[in-house]
Each structure stands twice: as structure tokens, then as C-alpha cells.
Amino acid sequence: MKEKIFRLFAAAITMLAVASFAGRPPAEKKDPGMKALELSSALSPSIKIEPAFLPAIRSYTAVVDSTNVQSVKIDPVPFSAGSRVTINGGETVSGRPYVADLKPGENRFEISVFPAGGKNAVQYQLTIIQKDLSGQYTSERVQAGVWRLADYGGFPPNQNAYLIEGPEKAVLIDTGMGKGDLAGTVKSLTSRPVEVAVTHGHGDHAGQIGQFPASVVYMSEKDKGMLPAAVNSGNFKWVKDGDKIGLGGGRYLEVVEVPGHSAGSIMFLDRIGKTLAIGDAIGSGSYVWKFIPGTSSLSEYRDTLKKLESRLAPFDALTFLTGHHWQERTPLTGTTGKQMVTDMRILCEKIISGEITGTPNSINLGGQKMNVLTASYGLAGIWYDPENLHQSK
């Protein structure tokens, strides 16, 4: 009898609770605010923010170099198309980034996202720190014995060098154009003797060779003329396709010639570590510059890419060490890098056949305005000279 009364009492309480809940108005769904926050400048299509954007995080920081970045474009992307966005109280225009001039030190921006028809904004804080970074280097571990170094001394936001350590010695691939103590940074990462390998002769990759006067430097002689006159090439070893740079213990870097971006562009393949340092030979995940006077035709570049595809075919996974890591729209790891090589070859074929015609563009190269075309396919993109498609006879 007591159990029956208890069950009836419990049922009555449950019914009252359900009725009470049913009588309440539905809870208001909270607008999540932004789904993306993007920063850029006149020369940098992407500026890194910390931490990486997540809708639930409300505060972000970015550090930019005062030498190169005087203003930024702030592009908040709300979840709801009808949302209204303000930055420091000023209205933004949908689809048009907000341009902010920077001053040295901290620049603070309050981003408010008002849901359509709502008054309560979702608030975000963005702090952009402008300072001279030209003397600084950062490093991060890519994998065991491989470090990515970044400088801020040239084209923003950075150039990348790579330190690969073997059992007996280490090799620094590229030297960037920063103004700081690159040799000291390298010394802090490895106790091995250091040699230098250069992917090509452009200043943003070979600018600080002079910091390693006692080191052997491996480079293609085809780019020798690009080196500053002050560089002593007495300790240079001119390398060609198939040459090997030993690291000890049977590990080595294999030279892979990929002319096109420059006449002497080379890559360095580490078969044991499964890495390929590519410099700018096929771009860094965005666009390769294939318009510089004196370089091979697009058809010759296509043929070079075919050979590269065959060379990389045996690898089930490969990490590309790019000259400008910030340009990697998709991480070039696993089979993705190999796919970009294939896409680049297909893109060249489609341009040569006329199936793809690039978009007219212009670029200032050493004070000379050049009219070029830009085109993309899959993971690949290219800036090219429409007058240099075919090999001259």
C-alpha cells in the first residue's frame, strides 16, 4: 500500500514538473558571434593571431614588424549574415575589411557582433603589437632533428630556414635575410658542426650566408651571379642533381634540381627523415613566381615537374619544408605535397594548351613593372609570363 502511494506521489510530481516546464517560453538561442577573424596587410595575405581562432575564445593577439606593416586589414566574419559588426565603435561594411593604421606598441581593438534584430553584442578583444622584429628569430621543432627557423627581416611576415641535424653534422638550409644573430640561434639548437645549403640565390634565402664564414656552402653555380659581391665563395661547393650532402650514419641530403623560379633552384631530399626542402621552386602552398627574366619556359618547367613526380612516387608520406611557411594554405605533409606537384604540372599543361588563361596582373620587380598572368588549379598556383610558354628553338 505504501509503495502504491509512493508511486502515485512520484507520478504527480513528474506531471507537475512537465507542465511547469511546458508553460515556460523557449530559451533564447544565443548568437555565437564570429565564425572567423582574419588579418592581413598590403604585403601579407595572412597575419597569424594567437591563439588560433575559435568562436568561444574572446581575446586575440598578433605581433607585426614595424618595418613592413604600418596598417592592417581586420576582417571579422560573423556567423549570421544579418549581423552588424563594429570595431572600436565604428560600423564595418559587410565584405569589406576594416583598415586600421598602427602605432608602435599595443594597438587595441574591440570587435562587437550584434545579432540580427538583437541589442546584446558578442564582444571580442584584439591586440596588435607593432615592433621591430628584424633582429629576431623564432624556431619550432618540425620533427626529431629538424627545426624551422623564421625571420622578419624582409618580405613579411617571414622567411624560413631549416636546420637538419644528423649523427655527425647539421646542415642549415637557407639563411633568410634577417638582421639578427642567425648563427647564434643555430648554435643554440645543435652542438654539431654546421654546413649551409642554399635552395636558390634570391636575397630572402641567401642573405645571411656571411654569418657562416667557416662553413661549407652548397649551392647551384647557376645562381652564383645573384650573390652579394661581399660574399666569399671560396668555401662554396657547387652541386648538381643527384649530389649528396652527408650528415653521418648513412643519412644524407640529396640534391634535386627544379629550375624555373630561378635557373639554379634546387631542393634537398632527406630520404630517412622523409622531408623535402623546396625553397621557392614550386611555391610554398600559394603561388610560384615563374616570370623572372632569364628563367626556363613554362613547357620546360612542366617537363621538370614530370621528373619530380617520378622521383617522389616511391614515398608514401613526405613533409615539404617550404621557404615561406605562412603561405601554406593546406599543410604540405603526407601525400599533400606530392599532390601539389601534380597539380602544378597539370596547371602548366592547361596553360600551355590554352585550356586555362590566367588573370592579368602586374608586379614591381626591382623597380620594373612587369605584366604577368596568375592562374591556379587544385593546390597549385602560378604567376607566369605569357610570352615565355614555349622553349625557344
CATH number at residue 84: 2.60.40
Residue 42 has a pLDDT of: 76
DSSP H or E stretch at residue 365: strand 359-365
Under 8 Å between Cβ of 282 and 379 = no
d(CA 321, CA 282): 11
| Structural domain contains residue 8 | no
Check whether 297 has a pLDDT greater than 80. Answer: yes
Strand order in the sheet with 59-65: 59-65, 122-131, 105-114, 84-87, 90-91
Give the number of domains in the chain. Answer: 2
Looking at 100, 131, 162, the residue that finishes a domain is 131
User: Which tens digits make up the pLDDT trace of 93-116?
Assistant: 888 899 999 999 999 999 999 988
167 and 125 housed in the same domain: no
Check whether 13 has a pLDDT greater than 60. Answer: no
99 and 185 housed in the same domain: no
376 and 272 housed in the same domain: yes
| Structural domain contains residue 23 | no
222 and 76 housed in the same domain: no
| Structural domain contains residue 14 | no
Which residues span the domain enclosing 119? 34-131
| Structural domain contains residue 366 | yes
CATH number at residue 361: 3.60.15.10
| Structural domain contains residue 15 | no
Give the pLDDT band (50/70/90) at residue 196. Answer: very high
d(CA 356, CA 345): 13
Choose among 166, 156, 376, 193: nearest CA to 288: 376
User: Which tens digits make up the pLDDT trace of 116-139?
Assistant: 877 789 999 999 999 988 888 989
Under 8 Å between Cβ of 323 and 174 = yes
Under 8 Å between Cβ of 196 and 212 = yes
Residue type present at position 266: I
225 and 308 housed in the same domain: yes
Check whether 339 has a pLDDT greater than 70. Answer: yes
Find cell 572600436 and name the residue: 88
More confident residue, 3 or 160: 160
Under 8 Å between Cβ of 350 and 308 = no
* Percent of the chain predicted with pLDDT > 90: 70
Residue range 290-301: average pLDDT?
A: 92
Residue 69 has a pLDDT of: 86
183 and 321 housed in the same domain: yes
d(CA 243, CA 262): 19
Looking at 99, 131, 163, the residue that finishes a domain is 131
User: Which tens digits make up the pLDDT trace of 271-281?
Assistant: 999 999 999 99
| Structural domain contains residue 62 | yes
222 and 320 housed in the same domain: yes
| Structural domain contains residue 306 | yes
Q: Which three cell numbers stand for residue 22?
A: 511546458
Looking at 101, 131, 161, the residue that finishes a domain is 131
255 and 164 housed in the same domain: yes
Q: Is the peptide bond before 32 cis (omega within 30 degrees of 0)?
A: no
230 and 299 housed in the same domain: yes
257 and 224 housed in the same domain: yes
d(CA 121, CA 125): 13
| Structural domain contains residue 19 | no
User: Which tens digits make up the pLDDT trace of 304-316?
Assistant: 999 999 999 999 9
